[in-house]
Amino acid sequence: MLAIEHNVDLQRYNTFKMASKAEFFAVVREKEDVLAAIKWAKEHAQPIFVLGGGANVLLGKKIKGLVLKNEIKGTGVLAEDKDSVLFSGLSGESWIRFVHLAVEAGWYGIENLFLIPGTVGASPVQNIGAYGVELKDCFDHLVAINLETGKEKTFSAKDCRFAYRDSIFKNKLRGKYFIYSVALRLKKKAELKLGYGDIGKCLLEKGIKKPNLKQVIAIIQEIRNSKLPIPAVLPNVGSFYKNPEIGKKEFARLLKEFPDIRSFPAGKKIKIPAAWLIDQAGFKGKRFGDAGVYEKQALILVNHGQATARDILALDAKIKKAVLKKFGIKLEEEVNIIL
């Protein structure tokens, strides 16, 4: 039976450790709980907010309506042939565990996404990505429950409209569906992407010429632990901003003024690392009260203790203003701001 609580503290449910209270709160452990929650929300005219691991949200002091904490767990193989496997996870399953299971089974495709905190169900929301791989590269389909009608719908990759840290669930269908399960097509034959970031350098240093899956995730773990703050030690939500994409003309203009500007190609556009822009604007390692910019990686905003969403947003506004003034580039948040 679904238990609905009132005025529940969400601080332990978000990796930014924002002090936040849910007006109404329920943990869902199976599909029936979601359907019961939809019924309750309708009867009480309350909106629903779905919370996974809370690793990509900036929560305000009070979240109106019913917060559903997703604990629907489980994994399974939906289909298999000689080359691939259709591996599915229920949405409250830990993404890290999901990747670990795939690696243990010897399936290729999501190893570069190892150690991204959060749930399987949130992975399509922003089309999670790391080290040259995005979820969309092996996504097959997902099943979601309409939060208005309780009806189920299957979404193909095309339906999800995946883009860089984006999908239909972050835009047009934001807050409209509860993603129930996600199925990925993983390969049985070795197909590794090792050319991104420090992976190649790390392999070279260790003298590994032909790495296996377990060696790849060990290296990813090493790189991530050396660069990213662990939320339990220094609360954060990973990258606070997206890397802005600009046109070639605009890039040529910037290159004249800033010859050492960092960039990488992104289709017809050029991507500029937001961390570089924030660093150049003088914010790396800066602290305003308990809201700060991580000293080793300027893309990450951190909570040094008692920072509130308001403190983080004040810092966010300062950074955006400074970057716009210096480079003419508008930064966009990657994190979901829930006020």
Ligand X SMILES: Cc1cc2nc3c(=O)[nH]c(=O)nc-3n(C[C@H](O)[C@H](O)[C@H](O)COP(=O)(O)OP(=O)(O)OC[C@H]3O[C@@H](n4cnc5c(N)ncnc54)[C@H](O)[C@@H]3O)c2cc1C
- Catalytic (active-site) positions: 165, 239, 334
Q: Interface with ligand X includes 112 (CB under 6 A)?
A: no
Cβ contact 55:17 at 8 Å: no
Between residue 232 and residue 261, which ones bind ligand X under the rule CB under 6 A?
236-238
CA 193/CA 205 separation, integer angstroms: 17
Q: Interface with ligand X includes 89 (CB under 6 A)?
A: no
Q: Kindly tell me which of 222 and 257 has the beta carbon lying closer to ligand X.
A: 222
How many Cα atoms occupy the beta-carbon half-sphere of 8 within 13 Å? 18
Q: What are phi and psi of 151, to 5 degrees?
A: -80, 150
Q: Kindly tell me which of 177 and 327 has the beta carbon lying closer to ligand X.
A: 177
Cβ contact 21:7 at 8 Å: yes
Q: Interface with ligand X includes 301 (CB under 6 A)?
A: no
Write the interaction track for ligand X spanning residues 133-162; mark x where CB under 6 A is met and - where it is not.
------------------------------
Which of 22, 24, 28, 54 is the binder for ligand X (CB under 6 A)?
54
* Distance from the Cα of residue 315 to its chain's centroid: 21
Closest CB 192 distance from ligand X, rounded Å: 18
Closest CB 66 distance from ligand X, rounded Å: 12
Q: Interface with ligand X includes 25 (CB under 6 A)?
A: no
* # residues contacting ligand X (CB under 6 A): 34
Going by DSSP bridges, is the β-strand pair 84-90/75-80 parallel, antiparallel, or unpaired?
Answer: antiparallel
Query: Which residues pair with residue 145 across a beta bridge?
Result: 152, 178
Cβ contact 155:178 at 8 Å: no
Q: Interface with ligand X includes 216 (CB under 6 A)?
A: no
Q: Interface with ligand X includes 336 (CB under 6 A)?
A: yes
Tokens 């403190």 sit on residue: 311
Residues that bind ligand X (CB under 6 A): 15, 49-57, 70, 91, 116-119, 121-123, 125-126, 128-130, 169, 177-179, 228, 231, 236-238, 336
